[in-house]
Amino acid sequence: MTTPLFRNFERIVFFTGAGLSAESGIPTFRGKGGVWSQYDYKEYACQEAFERDPEKVWDFLDVRRGAVGKCEPNAGHRVIAEVQKAKPATAIVTQNVDGLHARAGGRDVIELHGSLWRVRCDRERVVRKDASVSMGSRKCSCGEYLRPDIVWFGDMLDERVVRRAIKALESADLIVSVGTSGVVYPAADLPRIAVRGGATSVEINLEDTPVSEMFEYRLRGPASEWLAKMNA
């Protein structure tokens, strides 16, 4: 089976996870050295933890913002942005909160799980960008703690964001899943919408995942290498 090439498709959806940013030096979540193997998400990445000890959660996020702030998008991010420029109907649907797609030139990135670089006040119902490392005041002018605009475990995803993702997946002629373990829901099930719609389906990962069975092409190896090969 010859590897599908981007030039033969028009409505491409890139569905990305932490494995894409691994080559930029950002630790993934699972596996050796993964974030969740060092930090218990019940202590650092859920609403209960935030209400229990917001300073502790912000200390954790400042560490991540500091680490991600020092990283650069890699060749994989750049190929995706390049393909989107050449094929304007291309959509980027990511579980990553690191903002590297946009820094690589990606447009209208659909961030399913939010962003490290946005904060919100749930009392004032305001969301704003904040790229300061480390974070300035952790409180809103109303006195309430600012909450990172990240979707934590147990949080519902933003319906508007999910609707944008579904719209892109429904009209896709190629779906490329890149560097995701496919274990977190509802995100892990989204590529199935494009597969059901008859799109050619590709999974790029170092190894098999629990959702590999849904993909026609299972390309094993580093994301940046396979993305470059498909961009020939």
Q: Does 102 bind ligand BV8 (CB under 6 A)?
A: no
What secondary structure letter does DSSP report for 28?
Answer: -
What residues between 55 and 84 interact with ligand BV8 by CB under 6 A?
none
Is residue 77 part of the annotated active site? The answer reads no
Q: Which residue, 11 or 146, has its beta carbon nearer to ligand BV8?
A: 146
DSSP strand pairing (114-121 vs 126-129) = antiparallel
Buried b (16+ CB within 10 A) or exposed e, 59-86: ebbeebbebbeeeebbbbbbbbbbbbee
Distance, C-alpha 193 to centroid of its chain: 18
When asked if residue 105 is in the footprint of ligand BV8 (CB under 6 A), the reply is no
Residue 124 zone, left/alpha/beta (φ > 0; ψ -120 to 50; rest): alpha
Nearest approach in angstroms of CB 132 to ligand BV8 is 18
- Rounded (10°) angle between helices 223-230 and 75-86: 30
Q: How far is the CB of 182 from ligand BV8 (least distance, A)?
A: 7
Rule CB under 6 A: is residue 228 a binding residue for ligand BV8? no
Bridge partners of 150, per DSSP, are 114
Given candidates 26, 79, 81, 97, which one binds ligand BV8 under the rule CB under 6 A?
A: 97
- Active-site residue among 113, 118, 120, 147? 113
Does the footprint of ligand BV8 cover residue 155 (CB under 6 A)?
yes
d(CA 7, CA 33): 36
CB of 116 to ligand BV8, least distance (A): 7
Using alpha carbons, select from 178, 183, 156, 161 the residue that is nearest to residue 227. Answer: 178
By CB under 6 A, name the one of 91, 179, 191, 230 that touches ligand BV8. 179
208 binds ligand BV8, rule: CB under 6 A: no
Q: Applying CB under 6 A, which of residues 45, 79, 81, 190 lies at the interface with ligand BV8?
A: 45
**Candidate residues 108, 124, 207, 216; the one interacting with ligand BV8 per rule CB under 6 A:** 207
The residues near 206 (Cβ < 8 Å, ≥ 6 apart) are 19, 220, 221, 222
| Contact set with ligand BV8 (CB under 6 A) | 17-19, 22-23, 28-31, 34, 45, 95, 97, 113, 150-156, 179-181, 183-187, 204-207, 209, 222-223
**Residues involved in catalysis:** 113
